[in-house]
Amino acid sequence: MWDAVRSMHSEGLISLAAFASIFASLTSAGRPADALAAFGALAPHGIPQDTTALNYLHSALSH
């Protein structure tokens, strides 16, 4: 998965929506700690850790 994220980032295609999907996938797989780590990886990929991003993470963790 992270190879795909790096590739998307290098092509300028990574988005908050992609990370929202990552958050949801990781929490659905029973890996909430990895979803939190993915939130930490937003900034290095050029996506701000803002309220919207936090809301996506919270929503994924809540389901």
Q: What is the pLDDT of residues 37-62, one digit of tens each?
A: 999 999 999 999 999 999 999 999 99
Q: What would the mean pLDDT of 13-17 be, rounded to a whole number? A: 93
Q: Tell me which residue has tokens 């700690």.
A: 33
Of 37, 45, 5, 46, the closest CA to residue 57 belongs to 37
Q: Is a pLDDT exceeding 90 seen at residue 25?
A: yes
* pTM of the shown model: 0.90
In the chain, % of residues over pLDDT 70: 100
Predicted confidence at residue 1, as pLDDT, reads 83
On average, the pLDDT of the chain sits at: 94
